[in-house]
Amino acid sequence: MKISPSILSADFARLADELRLIEDFADYVHVDVMDGHFVPNITIGPLVVEAVKRSTRLPLDVHLMIDRPERHVESFARAGSDIITVHAEATKHLHRVVESIKELGKKAGVSINPATPVSVLEDIIGDVDLVLIMSVNPGWGGQGFIPGSLRKISAVRRMIEAEGRPVELEVDGGIKVNNIKEAFDAGADVFVSGSGVFGARDYGATITEMKNRCMAKTGT
């Protein structure tokens, strides 16, 4: 299992320091890119991704919450993204954008919003490296986990097993120490946490505790 802290909840004025504090504990750095169209909020672009890349050795897990992501995957790839995830709802040509991410030498992910059925993944799951299930409506950090996401995680886990190929199953939104185990038991193996990590006093200890909770026997 992997923890991918979302820098959306980090202190942007001290980003390099914040990244240093998670470096020895986290597995990825989750970067939330928002365009003010696909979601109401606007966050960061390729220039900041490039700066993050220079400040950490961890792989960059870049979540594009932008309309028509095909326009921008190349610049995010050049900025140093390792995984580029696009939303199924944001493009008319999902297969084409997934292929172009892979042609750029990056891992390709597809994400779905809370109200999007997992069935939209059926004909793309064979082509992706990662599926990202949104467990909040994308736009902001610090929202509550939507419980119905657990059923979707289990359904996608079954799709991945049927596929018989390694595909990471990431969950994003409202993941904290006290609920991560439920998402783990449902079948997720990469956990985004923004406020759950950067809102904690000790980031490293919190990430370690998240991992311990997942490994603990169910019911303990």
Give the shortest CB-165-to-ligand DX5 separation in angstroms: 25
With CB under 5 to 8 Å by kind, the binding choice for 31 among ligand DX5, Zn ion, none is none
Tokens of 202: 């000790």
Question: Which 84-123 positions form the footprint of ligand DX5 (CB under 6 A)?
Answer: none
Tell me, by CB under 6 A, how many residues bind ligand DX5. Answer: 21
Q: What is the DSSP string of 141-161?
A: SSPPP-TTHHHHHHHHHHHHH
- Shortest distance (Å) from residue 138 CB to ligand DX5: 4
Nearest CB to ligand DX5, comparing residues 34 and 121: 34
Please, which residues bridge with residue 35 across strands? 42
The helix (run of H) or strand (run of E) holding residue 54 is helix 46-55
- Among 62, 194, 200, 210, indicate the residue that binds ligand DX5 (CB under 6 A): 194
Closest CA to 169 of 189, 192, 150, 152: 189
Catalytic residue among 35, 61, 129, 172: 172
- The residue ranges that bind Zn ion (CB under 5 A) are 32, 63, 172
**Catalytic-residue membership of 32:** yes
**C-alpha torsion sign, points 28, 161, 212, 32:** positive
Quick one: CA dihedral 127, 92, 187, 212, positive or negative? Answer: positive
36 near ligand DX5, judged by CB under 6 A = no
- What are the φ and ψ backbone dihedral angles of 74, each rounded to 5 degrees? -65, -45
Q: Which of 117, 95, 93, 119 is nearest to 108 (CA)?
A: 95
CB of 77 to Zn ion, least distance (A): 18
CB of 68 to ligand DX5, least distance (A): 18
Subset of residues 57 to 76 that bind ligand DX5, contact rule: CB under 6 A = 63
- Least Å distance, CB 217 to ligand DX5, is 25
- The verdict on whether 172 is a catalytic residue reads yes
Task: Classify residue 136 by its DSSP letter.
Answer: S
DSSP one-letter code for 212: H
User: Which residue lies nearer to ligand DX5 by CB, 64 or 101?
Assistant: 64
29-34, strands of its sheet edge to edge: 2-5, 190-193, 168-172, 130-134, 107-112, 83-87, 60-65, 29-34
- Contact set for ligand DX5, span 133-192 (CB under 6 A): 136, 138-139, 141-143, 172-175, 192
Between 18 and 172, CB nearer to Zn ion:
172
* Residues in touch with ligand DX5 (CB under 6 A): 6, 8-9, 30, 32, 63, 136, 138-139, 141-143, 172-175, 192-196
Supply the residues annotated as catalytic. 32, 172
